[in-house]
């Protein structure tokens, strides 16, 4: 059954469990959050851990009326759910299905729009801040932030030569101001021309259109080896980011006959797709937030402001060919310049590139109001026929040895796994002694290993210990 599959996934942006129907505002907040997002399902009669306990038969028929009364009394604009019951293994549960609303934002009548609008962040309901409210209002009008005119800038103060150059190089096209108007980069009002946010974003004029890149030592952010801040137009930033990544990733080689083939430990085309995705789909309307790229010994993270588009399900993002564009103008420019091959195929290509390179599957996470793209570094060594023992050149200019998880027996994750294979559990203190990591380093390592499903956390506070999952 479809409901059983959803319950097994656990609570997330689209699913919430309740043992019994909560009272008033508690259930209303979840209904509002789903309406302001991509919809969702509330399962009544299911514990937080996914255990189906069912609903008392005396309450079963009353729940639909109670939910309807709560929505009418507390929610505005009006929300119409689909409420029905299902019998799973002899236990009756109630499912409240909420559809994505077209009249966003939806809010609590008792608190008003500014203080009573709720949105779904991960598996929690949060009050929407002012920037989120503006995004919801734009969403209801089907207008993106990048389409809006920005009256704070004079069109004559913006140098568009970078667009002229990039269109000539990438599209073999001479671009004019009329082209910029057709692309919605410039808008005419009352005989005057104004830039849209898209033009300001592409030119790097907005205060959050820059990128922070860092290569950290180890697996924590305690110390870094290299740090760069890239500004300027987006196309220059993309090239600078690619160079930064190549400088800090290992270069491997395979000898085929008389030919030597060099490959980076993470395929550059996969990284380029992910970087492009961050620039095209991020939330530019949120001030004070920019793209961040971090390289650790074990992973590479690309963090982008804003949640995933409302209709995109994080659970099948790599296999789905569905595409929802947040920044339509920016996306169209990138498509014209052939940075985008075909809508809805980028994620699948990233997955395939990593699979062909024998890497662990890449991950996408929603962390607060950010999306994180996580690449795992080299999983298995690339076989080489290099019998002459010639050293393989590396672009790892920081000279810091990067450990391979499967081949370097001194790797911290490897030590933890080997220890747990011979012992029932491990604590932070023991892990520090066998890995030489700091207290924070061990905590970060445990967190990542838990997220990857390698180990499981038990106990709390000083009594915390970990076991193999």
Domain extent listing, the chain: 2-141, 145-202, 211-376, 412-468
Report phi then psi at 431, rounded to 5.
Answer: -60, -40
3-state secondary structure 208-244: CCCEEEEEECCCCCCCEEEEEEECCCHHHHHHHHHHH
Per DSSP, what are the bridge partners of residue 187? 194
Q: Topology of 2-141 in CATH?
A: 3.30.950
Report phi then psi at 46, rounded to 5.
Answer: -130, 130
For residue 347, what pLDDT is reported?
Answer: 81
Per DSSP, what are the bridge partners of residue 84? 95
Per DSSP, what are the bridge partners of residue 466? 426, 457
* Alpha helical stretches, state H, 249-361: 268-281, 328-336, 346-356
For residue 191, what pLDDT is reported?
Answer: 87
267-286 b/e (C-beta count within 10 Å ≥ 16 → b): beebbbbbbbbbbbbbbbbb
Parallel, antiparallel, or unpaired for β 15-18 and 40-44? parallel
Return the CATH architecture of domain 211-376.
Answer: 2-Layer Sandwich (3.30)
Q: Which residue from 112, 143, 43 is spatially nearest to 83, judged by alpha carbons?
A: 43
User: How far apart (Å, rounded) are the C-alpha atoms in residues 452 and 444?
Assistant: 12
Domain 412-468 has CATH 1.10.10.10: yes
Could you give the 3-state DSSP secondary structure of residue 199? helix
Could you give the 3-state DSSP secondary structure of residue 152? coil
Report phi then psi at 60, rounded to 5.
Answer: -55, -45
Q: Which residue from 125, 322, 294, 330 is spatially nearest to 220, judged by alpha carbons?
A: 294
Per DSSP, what are the bridge partners of residue 299? 376
Inter-CA distances, 378 with 170, 256, 356, 393, 405, Å? 32, 21, 12, 16, 7
Q: Is 351 exposed, middle or buried (0-12, 13-18, 19+ CB in 10 A)?
A: middle
Question: Which two structure tokens, joined as six digits, stand for 268?
Answer: 């550059």
User: How far apart (Å, rounded) are the C-alpha atoms in residues 210 and 284?
Assistant: 11
Q: Which residue from 163, 130, 309 is spatially nearest to 233, judged by alpha carbons?
A: 163
Report phi then psi at 299, rounded to 5.
Answer: -140, 165
H or E element, residue 92: strand 91-98
| Tens digit of pLDDT at every position of the chain (469 positions) | 789 988 988 898 899 999 999 888 999 999 999 999 989 999 999 999 999 999 988 888 899 999 999 999 999 999 999 999 999 999 999 999 999 999 999 999 999 999 999 999 888 999 999 999 999 999 888 899 999 999 999 998 899 999 999 999 999 999 988 999 999 999 999 889 999 999 999 999 999 999 999 999 999 999 999 999 999 999 999 999 999 999 999 987 777 777 777 789 999 999 999 999 999 999 999 888 999 999 999 999 999 998 877 666 665 565 555 667 889 999 999 999 999 876 667 788 888 898 888 888 898 888 878 999 999 986 543 333 333 333 333 344 443 333 333 333 336 887 888 788 777 788 888 888 787 788 878 888 888 888 878 888 887 777 788 888 7
What predicted TM-score, i.e. pTM, was given to this entire model?
0.73
Q: What share of the chain is helix, strand, coil (3-state, %, to 5)?
A: 35, 25, 40
Per DSSP, what are the bridge partners of residue 121? 124
Query: 248 in the Ramachandran plot: left (φ > 0), alpha (ψ -120 to 50) or beta?
Result: alpha
Note the Cα 315 to chain centre separation in Å. 11
């Amino acid at each position: 059954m479809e409901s059983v599959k959803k319950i097994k996934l656990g609570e997330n942006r689209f699913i919430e469990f309740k043992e019994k129907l909560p009272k008033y505002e508690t259930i209303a907040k979840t209904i509002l959050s789903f309406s302001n997002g991509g919809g969702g399902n509330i399962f009544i009669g299911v514990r937080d851990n996914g255990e189906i306990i069912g609903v008392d038969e005396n309450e079963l028929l009353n729940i639909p009326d109670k939910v309807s009364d709560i929505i009418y009394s507390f929610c505005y604009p009006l929300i119409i759910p689909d409420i029905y019951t299902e019998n799973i293994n002899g236990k009756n549960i109630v499912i409240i299905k909420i559809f994505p609303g077209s009249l966003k934002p939806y809010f609590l009548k008792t608190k008003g729009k500014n203080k009573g609008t709720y949105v779904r962040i991960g598996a929690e309901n949060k009050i929407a801040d002012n920037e989120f409210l503006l995004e919801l209002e734009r969403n209801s009008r089907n207008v993106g932030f990048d389409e809006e005119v920005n009256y704070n800038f004079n069109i004559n103060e913006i140098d568009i030569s970078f667009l002229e150059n990039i269109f000539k190089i990438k599209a073999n096209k001479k671009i004019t101001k009329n082209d910029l108007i057709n692309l919605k980069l410039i808008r005419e009002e009352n005989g005057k021309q104004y830039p849209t946010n898209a033009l300001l974003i592409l030119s790097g004029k907005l205060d959050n259109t820059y990128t922070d890149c860092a290569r950290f030592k180890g697996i924590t952010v305690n110390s870094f080896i290299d740090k760069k801040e890239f500004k300027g137009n987006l196309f220059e930033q993309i090239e600078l980011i690619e160079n930064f990544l190549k400088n800090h990733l290992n270069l491997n080689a395979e000898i085929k006959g008389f030919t030597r083939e060099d490959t980076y430990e993470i395929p550059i085309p996969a990284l380029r797709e992910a970087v492009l995705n961050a620039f095209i789909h991020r939330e530019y309307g949120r001030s004070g937030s920019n793209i961040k790229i971090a390289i650790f010994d074990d992973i590479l993270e690309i963090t982008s402001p804003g949640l995933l588009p409302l209709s995109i399900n994080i659970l099948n993002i790599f296999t789905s060919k569905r595409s929802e564009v947040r920044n339509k103008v920016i996306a169209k420019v990138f498509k014209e310049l052939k940075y985008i091959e075909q809508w809805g195929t980028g994620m699948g290509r990233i997955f395939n590139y990593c699979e062909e390179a024998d890497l662990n599957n890449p991950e996408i996470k929603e962390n607060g109001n950010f999306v994180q793209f996580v690449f795992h570094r080299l999983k298995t060594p690339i076989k080489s026929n290099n019998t002459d023992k010639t050293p393989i050149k590396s672009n790892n200019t920081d000279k810091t040895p990067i450990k391979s998880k499967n081949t370097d027996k001194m790797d911290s994750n490897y030590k933890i796994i080997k220890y747990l294979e011979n012992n029932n559990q491990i604590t932070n203190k023991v892990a520090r002694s066998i890995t030489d990591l700091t207290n924070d380093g061990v905590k970060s390592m445990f967190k990542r290993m838990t997220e990857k499903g390698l180990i499981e956390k038990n106990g709390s506070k000083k009594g915390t210990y970990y076991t193999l999952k």
